[in-house]
Homo-oligomer: A and B are copies of this chain.
């Protein structure tokens, strides 16, 4: 079988190198170009020695990358890049998966308010399919353009999904208290994510407003018959990978929550509902595309607590992107995504 030609735009960040890690282990993928304006000419494995022996390509200047000859192009770029280049690629028959936020939010005004720029291709926003397979599997299979979800939105939506679809909770006071490892901030230089600042330290950030709030709200609204009001508080925790979302809602009616969660995700290859009473650890999904979930009702009260963990770079970014690629190309959904989490 011919391999699929793959291009990666913006290969120097964490989602880029994670895409490389996963794609070199994918039996049907052939990486033909990895672009970086700043690092053009340098070998990818010189910047990321973990890839020595696995990736022999240099970074290519985006202008010379011939991305139109790829079958699939992943954008692992900052926000605002993919929206400028996607139309041309789609016109050339390339399928596009954007790991940034350019196509995630359907309401253009909302996007422009939170991302602080004008949107360059609103028409594509309408076409783009939000790439959360547990919600949109059928539509992803036929999509030309997939908007890969954010990391927090993945963990939070998968945790709330069974409750909202079943209409069990008061949707006017949903709370998502989320904790992320530092790689979630990207491989950019900011004082607050230096080792001596973020190490041995814990803090909330973005409480007045975080860009993932409208994305999560849009997703939750699509699952719910009643309007959504969400309080979302992200925190920075001194670990490298991992998101732990702790979700709170008030139950409107009694139900067997454990059964509900198990049934909802019974056929999902990457959502793992733990036994009643369990507490998922982020390390249990380190390097893997799984989301592990537990549901609790403390003191048998009317507050439900959902614990949802993912690896922010895998199910929260590159792994989910490969899962979407598998769906778009008709491969088994788990292809190239079956490695065992690294523990300890």
Contact = CB atoms under 8 A, between A and B. Distances in A.
Contact of A342 (B204, B274, B287): B287
Nearest to A17: B343
Nearest to A197: B344
A307 B204 contact: yes
A248 B176 CA distance: 10
B196 A193 contact: yes
A200 B199 contact: yes
Nearest to A190: B189
B242 A239 contact: no
Given A201-B239, A235-B179, A196 B248 contact: no
Contacts of A250: 173
Given A203-B282, A279-B207, A21 B303 contact: no
Given A196-B240, A199-B240, A189 B187 contact: no
A305 interface: yes
Contact of A246 (B204, B239, B241, B339): B204
B203 A244 contact: yes
Interface in A218-276: 229, 231-233, 235, 237-242, 244, 246, 248, 250, 272, 274
Interface of A: 14, 17, 21, 24-25, 48-54, 173, 175, 177, 179, 181-183, 185, 187, 189-191, 193-205, 207-209, 213, 229, 231-233, 235, 237-242, 244, 246, 248, 250, 272, 274, 277, 279-288, 290, 292, 296, 298-299, 301, 303, 305, 307, 309, 339-344
A277 B237 CA distance: 20
A201 B274 contact: no
Nearest to A282: B202
Contacts of A292: 49, 52
Contact of A340 (B25, B182, B299): B25
Contact of A231 (B50, B240, B290, B301): B301
A272 B201 contact: no
A240 B204 contact: no
A195 to B, nearest CB: 4
A201 B49 contact: no
B281 A201 contact: yes
A196 B187 contact: yes
Contacts of A49: 274, 280-281, 284, 292
A239 B202 contact: yes
Contacts of A237: 179, 202, 237-238
